[in-house]
Amino acid sequence: MSLSAPQAVALLASSFANAQVVVYVEVAAATLFFYDYFTTFPSEVELVWRGKWGAGKILFLMGRYIMWPELTIVLYYALFKDAPNNCRFTVTYSLWSVLIGITIGDGVFL
């Protein structure tokens, strides 16, 4: 089944609109992440940084700061569209980051 020219144009426009929505969601999620980070940072300094080192502190800091490189890469990819060359790297890095984040999160509950 082949598409007519108007159907192909409508499908292409819909795809671009959906891709733009994904960018909006990524930017909104990053905004919430920054808001959470900067509003809780003073408490983190007071309660975590000044405490003694232990497994809980290490897991907390790893869980808290493992998102920064991924967030930077995803925002760069979403905003600057350096797509085909870096898409595989971005997806691979994101998947490993999620896997490591889940492992750290599970480690906190052990």
Q: Quick one: pLDDT band at residue 13, thresholds 50, 70, 90?
A: low
pTM of the model: 0.64
- Residue 110 in 3-state DSSP? coil
Spatial contact of 74 and 26, defined as CB atoms under 8 Å apart: yes
Q: Is the pLDDT of residue 64 over 80?
A: yes
CA distance 55 to 77: 34
Angle, helix 67-80 to helix 55-65, in steps of 10 degrees: 0
Spatial contact of 22 and 78, defined as CB atoms under 8 Å apart: yes
Q: Quick one: pLDDT band at residue 53, thresholds 50, 70, 90?
A: very high
Angle, helix 67-80 to helix 5-44, in steps of 10 degrees: 150
